[in-house]
């Protein structure tokens, strides 16, 4: 049996790159594998205090769970939480070292998405999760960037550094080796899901009937008037994201708000309006261009073909 068919496969994210589909439909359908649910992955790999994490104990838990089968883990928070920037990168860096300590021979899978698109999707997810800020304040480009808001370790918030992919990929390459780190583009997955999944399964020696999988979107982003109204409704609940405001705490409103949203702004087809302004796009292009060029060269990725900011 090939080593790749027995080594643990750990899919670390990023957020908003199709991980919900992989968690709910793809990995559970893999034959002869032990797919770890998100709660277990978080409980064992992320939630333990930095001074109490015990790699040997965690490995024993996973070994017992796998019972001789190939272990599959897919948890996007392994790459850090998108709404707090992974606490200045401390969380994804710590988790990478934890994964190396527990699974020294793991196959690491990473999905990337162009920064303008993933930042728009992150803001939409922030609103879906109860957020109330404008996109300027969510990105900390406006008034929220002064005072305590300047310091991520005092007031956790979105960070552009989180989607600078090169440093984290470099760390995983250093820890696991280049051959053990597999990088995929969300854009290629979205463009032809079934064909992509067939290639993905072959690359990672996963036995799965891709023809039997539903490939429609599992977790589509909010847009337009529904996003605007949901942001207003979120003022009536303290849940569930950091860095927000609320006026009232109405019991069970976090769930009820969806009923009211459907009454106020029923679902209908409408043109997709960009959430990022031209000024936002210009800032994002400048922020990521050089790192993306380095990433494209070192990892042989066609980033320029898929809307990733590049120099020039």
pLDDT in tens, 59-91: 999 999 999 999 999 999 999 999 999 999 999
pLDDT at 275: 93
pLDDT at 57: 99
**Contact between residue 169 and residue 181 where contact means Cβ atoms under 8 Å apart:** yes
Q: Which CATH class is domain 3-221+274-306?
A: alpha beta
pLDDT in tens, 93-140: 999 999 999 999 999 999 999 999 999 999 999 999 999 999 998 998
Q: pTM of whole model > 0.85?
A: yes
Q: In 3D, which of 117, 164, 79, 162 has the Cα closest to residue 306?
A: 117
Q: In 3D, which of 65, 12, 16, 5 has the Cα closest to residue 189?
A: 16
pLDDT at 151: 81
Distance, in Å, from the CA atom of 155 to the CA atom of 292, rounded to the nearest integer, reads 28
pLDDT at 270: 73
What are the extents of the domains in the chain?
3-221+274-306
pLDDT at 242: 81
Q: Following DSSP, what letter does each residue of 209-224 receive, concatenated?
A: -GGGS--S-SSPPP-H
List Cβ neighbours of 226 (8 Å cut-off, separation of 6 or more): 261, 265, 267
Helix or strand run (H / E) with residue 101: helix 90-102
pLDDT at 146: 66
Q: How far is CA 273 from the centre of its chain?
A: 23
Distance, in Å, from the CA atom of 47 to the CA atom of 224, rounded to the nearest integer, reads 35
pLDDT at 42: 99
Token reading at 280? 């936002």
CA distances from 141 to 13, 220, 265, 266 (A): 25, 26, 29, 32
Residues in the chain predicted with pLDDT less than 50, given as ranges, are 1
């Amino acid at each position: 049996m090939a080593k790749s068919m027995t080594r643990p496969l750990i899919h670390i994210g990023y957020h908003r790159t199709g991980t919900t589909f992989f968690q709910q439909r793809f990995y559970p359908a893999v034959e002869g594998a032990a797919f770890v649910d998100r709660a277990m992955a978080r409980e064992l790999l992320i939630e333990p205090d930095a001074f109490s994490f015990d790699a040997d104990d965690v490995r024993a838990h996973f070994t017992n769970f796998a019972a001789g089968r190939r272990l599959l883990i897919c948890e996007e928070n392994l790459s850090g939480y998108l709404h707090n920037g992974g606490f200045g990168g401390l969380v994804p860096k710590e988790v990478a070292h934890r994964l190396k300590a527990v699974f020294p021979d793991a196959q690491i899978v990473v999905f990337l998405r162009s920064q303008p698109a993933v930042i728009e999707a992150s803001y939409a997810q922030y609103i879906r999760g109860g957020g109330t800020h404008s996109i300027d304040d969510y990105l900390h480009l406006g008034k929220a960037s002064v005072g305590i808001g300047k310091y991520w370790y005092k007031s956790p918030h979105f960070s552009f550094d989180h989607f600078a992919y090169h440093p984290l990929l470099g760390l995983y390459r250093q820890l696991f080796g280049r051959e053990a780190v597999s990088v995929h583009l969300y854009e290629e997955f979205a463009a032809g899901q079934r064909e992509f999944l067939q290639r993905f399964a072959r690359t990672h020696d996963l036995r799965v009937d891709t023809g039997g999988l539903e490939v429609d979107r599992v977790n589509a982003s909010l847009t337009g008037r529904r996003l605007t109204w949901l942001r207003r409704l979120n003022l009536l609940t303290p849940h569930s994201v950091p860095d927000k405001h609320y006026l009232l705490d109405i019991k069970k409103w976090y769930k009820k708000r969806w009923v009211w949203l459907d009454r106020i702004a029923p679902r209908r087809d409408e043109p997709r309006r960009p959430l990022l302004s031209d000024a936002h796009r210009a800032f994002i292009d400048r922020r990521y261009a050089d790192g993306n060029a380095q990433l494209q060269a070192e990892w042989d990725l066609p980033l320029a073909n898929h809307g990733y900011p590049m120099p020039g």
